[in-house]
Amino acid sequence: MDRPFFLMTDPGCFDVSYRINPWMKPEVWGAEKAAAACAASTALREALEATGAHVETVGAVKGLPDLVFPANAAVVLDGKVLLARFRHPERQGEEPHFRAAFQRLKARGLVDEIVDLPEGLFHEGAGDAIWDADRRHFWCGYGPRSSQGALPAIRRTFGREIIPLELATDRFYHLDTCFCPLAGGKVLYYPPAFTAEARANIRAHVAEADRIEASDEEAAAFCVNAVNLGSRIIMARAPGSLREKLAAAGYALTEVDLAPFILSGGAAYCMTLRLDRRSVSAAQLHAAE
Ligand SMILES: NC(=O)NCCC[C@H](N)C(=O)O
């Protein structure tokens, strides 16, 4: 994989028919939203491809609307795939489909190894374990969905440091809804989503000049749930305040109208799963040779 490689899911069976987070609004869902979701998913794919990334698609499955959020399917680094275990029964049916998708990727040599989480634990994949390519560690959210007890399994599986961050509220139920490390070492995050201890942990690892705080409005627009590729950030439609902050920090924005997915509590980051991340950069490997 010589370019960023993402997994997305065909949105053909996406809807909002149950409520497992406070953003989900089954009562406003309708056929016109389903059509808008297909257009939004295509726009996100095109935005990724416009950066030179490759996107691979998992097929839709009737009755599993949240399959469109593959970030929750696994943690992936160095060709290893640590499969997720979902907390809510509504999403547990996704597990065999994602397992089969990763087995097909393995058969094609696109990932190397598939690892199961120990029994009795929940972990919702890259939504709660975000690789920081500058600091070379995982930031790991836990509480509403992922079990704190799953964090040692992530450290053991990938052999990298993990920084635990307890989430304080069901509104920001996955780490990727409130925390986004950016290329160059800056971090976009929403402080009220975290416990006091987690906020202290963020401050201990990220210098003040590198901390970009999202406002209530920016976080509620799901803009922290973003895909970052170099100086470009792909996200849902952003308030002007965030555009200004990110431009001042040197980042270029691509905004995509992801409103139908926000009705399920997700946006750009969790609609994708990056498969090509390496814990050691190509430049570091080269230097060691
Ligand atoms: N934030 C994420 O990582 N994923 C979005 C998941 C939305 C889905 N409706 C859920 O509540 O699990």
Within 10 Å of residue 207's Cβ, how many Cβ atoms?
Answer: 10
Helix ranges, 206-250 (H): 216-220, 240-248
pLDDT given at position 282 = 62
User: At a CB cut-off of 8 Å and minimum separation 6, what does 192 contact?
Assistant: 168, 169, 216
Q: What pTM does this model have?
A: 0.96
pLDDT given at position 283 = 62
Active site residue 97: no
pLDDT given at position 1 = 72
Nearest alpha carbon, ligand 1 atom 3: 127
Q: Which of 17, 33, 35 shows the shortest CA–CA distance to 25?
A: 17
DSSP 80-100: EEEE-B-SSHHHHTHHHHHHH
Q: pLDDT digit string (tens) for 30-74?
A: 999 999 999 999 999 999 999 999 999 999 999 999 999 999 999
Catalytic pick among 123, 140, 174, 223: 174
Task: Tell me the domain boundaries of the chain.
Answer: 5-288
pLDDT given at position 276 = 97
The values of phi and psi at residue 175, to 5°, are -60, -35
Residue with tokens 């498969």: 275
Active site residue 13: no
Helix, strand, coil abundance in the chain, percent, nearest 5 = 40, 20, 40
Q: pLDDT digit string (tens) for 217-254?
A: 999 999 999 999 999 999 999 999 999 999 999 999 99
Q: Which of 30, 23, 5 shows the shortest CA–CA distance to 229?
A: 5
pLDDT given at position 2 = 84
Residue with tokens 């989900």: 24
pLDDT given at position 281 = 72
Which of 17, 66, 95, 130 to mutate to test ligand 1, by most ligand atoms within 8 A of the CB atom? 66
What residues in the chain have per-residue pLDDT under 70? Answer: 282-289
Domain spanning 5-288 has what CATH number? 3.75.10.10
